[in-house]
Structure 1
Amino acid sequence: MDKIEYDLGTVKEGNTKKQIITVRNTGISVFKLKGFTTSCDCTEATCDWKELQPGESGTVTVSYEAEQPGDFYRTVEIYGNIPNNSLMMSFIGTVE
């Protein structure tokens, strides 16, 4: 990933904000996606790939549904065939 924290800015209550993130396999073996976990049900992560070859890139789309006014901090973790490790991204912003 280019960065680990994304500022979604201001989101109107009841709206959904999407962020597309590019991930790249910088390792020497195939990265096999096992899944995602999110810090709450208001956040979802999806992608259209299951594996990334070394040097290959893919995109992950993260959607945040603004449920209540105020500042927010949400996380998404990407799990794969990396032993005892995951990739974590965070998303910040304000709901008005």
Structure 2
Amino acid sequence: SEYDLGMVKEGTSKKQTIIVRNTGTSVFRLKGFTTSCNCTEATCDWDVLQPGESGTITVSYEAEQSGDFYRTVDIYGNIPNNSLMVSFIGTVE
């Protein structure tokens, strides 16, 4: 999935909440996140999703320099050799 954060003023941060749903038949156990740079952070208040359950993840982007940006967050869980990648685009003014 890709989210457009639009215009972000330099020196500020912008947050985006995303919804993750467990469409599988077994419990999803969150193992963590990786981000494409230190200017992006992902947090959530859950660590397990039962089949059919949804949870939110909040991603925050710190606009450090002007120009277009493309950042990613990888979400890792108990699915071997697999992650969910979410990307964020926008422009810092």
Instruction: Give the aligned partner of residue 69 of structure 2.
Output: 72
Q: Which runs of 4+ in 1 moved over 6 A?
A: none
1:1-96 equivalent positions in 2, closer than 5 A: 4-96=1-93
Gaps of 5+ in 1: none
Gaps of 5+ in 2: none
Percent identity, aligned pairs only? 84
User: When the two structures are superposed, what TM-score results if normalisation uses the length of structure 1?
Assistant: 0.97
CA offsets per residue over residues 20-44 of structure 1, 9 Å max, x none?
0000000000000000000000000
Cα distance in structure 1, aligned partners of 2:82 and 2:15: 25
Aligned positions, number = 93
User: When the two structures are superposed, what TM-score results if normalisation uses the length of structure 2?
Assistant: 1.00
